[in-house]
Amino acid sequence: MLLQMRQITKTYGDLTANSGVDFSLRQGEIHALVGENGAGKTTLMRILYGMEQPTAGHILLNGKEVTFTNPTDAIRHGIGMVHQHFMLFPSFTVAENIVIGNEPKSGVAFDRKKAITQIEELCAKYRLPIDPVLKVADCPLGLQQRVEILKVLYQGADIIILDEPTGVLTPLEAKELLVIMKSLAKLGKSFIIITHKLHEVMEVADRVTVLRDGKMTGTVDANATNIEELSKLMVGRDLKQLKKRDLTVGQTVLHVQDISIHGDKGKPVLDRVTLQVKAGEIVGIAGISGNGQSELIQAISGLQSIDQGEIQLLGEPVRGRSVREIREIGLSHVPEDRYQWGAAKEGTVLDNGTMGHHKTKSRSGLLNGKELRNMVSGFIQQFQIKAGSQDAKVKFLSGGNLQKLIVARELAQGQPFLIAAEPTRGVDIGAMELIHEELLRKRDDQGAILLVSSELTEILQLSDRILVMYEGRIVGELSAAEATEEQISLWMAGGTSHA
C-alpha cells in the first residue's frame, strides 16, 4: 500500500472534525473522498498535506511512518495538492508559475530559457500540452487547472490531491480533466479527489471513501456501487426524486433590452443582450465563465452601470438606481462569489443571516433581536447549517455551509424576482437537493428566477428555458424539452450548428 492514514482524529476545542478515520491509497489508483459539507474531507487532506496536525493517528508512506509539519514536508515526500481556488499568478507565464519556488538558475539569476525547456519536456513526458510562454491571465480555466497539475508534477509529486477539481470547469473541460487523470494514473501517479459530483466519481475513481460527521461510513470499489448507494452513505437516507410541475407563466417580471457594457479596451463584455423572465418560470443561463454572465448579473442588480439599453423590473426602470433601490422594487440575489458579494467574513452567522431583513424585523426603528435570532435559527435547522453558534464568525464556516446560509437568507426575502448565481457551488448532494426543491417551490409560487450556473446538469434539471452566452452575447435559446447537453456545450464553446 502506497499510503495509509490510520485512526486519524482532529479536534478543535469541542469540535471533532475527524474521528478515527482510516484511509489508504495504492500506486496508480484514483481514490475519491466524498461526503457532505463539514464531513471532514478537507480537514483530512489538509492533515495529509501538512497544513494541519492530527490530534491522534498515524500516516504511513510506503510502510514507514511519516510526520508532515508543513506542506514543504509533504512536497518533499512526493505529495502535491491542487486547491479548489487556483493559486496562480495571472501576470506570470505558464512556465514562471510552474517553476516558482524551484526556479532553474544561471548563476544567481533566473534562467528563463531553461525553465521554458524544462516545462516543454514536462508537457511532453505527461502528454499535457500547453504553451509555456502564455500568460496565465490569458488561459481559460481548464488550462489553468492543467498548469496547477503540471506544477505539482514539476515538484515531483507521486500523490496528487485534487480539491473539487471540476468546480469551475465547463463540461468539456471536466471530461478532459478526467481523461488526464486516467492517463497519469496509468503512468503510476496516484490521485485523491475531493468532490461532490458523484457521476464523475463513478466515471474516474477506482475506490470511494465516504465520510459523514467526521467518521468514515465506508470504502467501496467504484465498480461495485452506484450513485444511489453512495448518496445514501453520504446523507444517511435515500434522496428524493426532483419533481417539476407543469409550467404556468404569468407577467414579465424582468425585461432586459439591448444592454451593452464595454470593457477597458473598448471590446464589449456585454453585446446587445436581450432577455425576459416571467413569473412562474426559471430561465437558465449557461456559458463558460468569463463570457458576460457576471456583468449581466451585476447590471441587473445595480452593481455595475450599463453603456446602453434598458432594464425593467416589475415594469420599473432600474438603470442608474442603487442596489438598495432595486432590491426594494423586488429583487433578491444569491451572488456567484459568496465571499466578495454575499457575506461579511468578519461578521457573525447572525449578522450575515439577517442582512436585508432589517426593515421587516424592526419596530419603530429598533431591531427585534429575538425575532432575528428565531429567523436565523430556522435557516440553520432547515438547511442543516453546521455552525458553532449564531455568534460564530462566518469566516470559520465551510464554504458549503456559508453558501446554504446565503441561499436561505435570500429565499426568505420573498421577493418576486431572484437571481440565483451558482446557487449550489461547493454544497453537498443533500444540500443541493434541498436548494433545488426550494428554487422549484419559489417558481411554483409564481416567483421569477434567473439561474446562472456552470453546472450544466443543474441548468438542465431546473430551467424552463435555457439561454447560452458566448463572448458577451446570447448565442442560443432552447426550451427545457428540446435542450440537450451536446447542443448547449457546442454553443458554450462558440459553435453555431444545431444538433
CA–CA distance, 37 with 34 (Å, rounded to integer): 10
Alpha-carbon distances of 100 from 150, 157, 207, rounded to whole Å: 12, 15, 33
**For residues 345 and 171, what is the distance between their CA atoms, to the nearest angstrom?**
31
Q: Is 456's pLDDT higher than 50?
A: yes
10: left (phi over 0), alpha (psi -120 to 50) or beta: beta
Share of the chain above pLDDT 90, in %: 63
User: Are 29 and 182 spatial neighbours (Cβ–Cβ below 8 Å)?
Assistant: no
- Alpha-carbon gap, residue 143 to 139, rounded angstroms: 6
Using DSSP, state whether 436 is helix, strand or coil. helix
C-alpha cell at 19: 474521528
How high is the pLDDT of residue 496? 67
The yes-or-no answer to whether 3-235 and 252-344+407-492 have a common fold is: yes
Under CATH, what is the fold of the domain 252-344+407-492?
A: Rossmann fold (3.40.50)
Given this model, what pLDDT does residue 186 score? Answer: 94
Strand order in the sheet with 473-479: 331-334, 417-421, 448-452, 282-286, 465-470, 473-479
pLDDT at 22 over 60: yes
Is pLDDT of 327 > 90? yes
Q: How sure is the predictor about 239, in pLDDT bands with cuts at 50, 70 and 90?
A: low
pLDDT class of 499 with cuts at 50, 70, 90: very low
Residue of 39, 10, 435 lying closest to 236 (CA atoms): 39
Q: 245: pLDDT confidence band, cut at 50, 70 and 90?
A: confident
pLDDT tens-digit readout, 97-124: 999 988 999 888 999 999 999 999 999 9
Residue 477 grid coordinates:
435559446
Owner of C-alpha cell 479548489:
84
Beta strands in 213-296 (DSSP E): 215-221, 252-262, 268-278, 282-286
364 pLDDT tier (thresholds 50, 70, 90)? low
What pLDDT was estimated at residue 112?
92
Q: What 3-state class would DSSP assign to 453? A: coil
In the DSSP assignment, the letter for residue 152 is H
Choose among 67, 68, 74, 114: nearest CA to 95: 114
pLDDT tens digit sequence for 273-318 = 999 999 999 999 998 777 899 999 999 999 999 999 999 999 999 9
For residue 209, give every residue at least 6 positions away whose Cβ sits within 8 Å of its Cβ, in sequence order, or none. Answer: 23, 31, 32, 33, 34, 216, 218, 219
What fold, for 3-235?
Rossmann fold (3.40.50)
Say whether pTM exceeds 0.85: no
Distance CA 253, CA 312 (A): 8
Domain extent listing, the chain: 3-235, 252-344+407-492
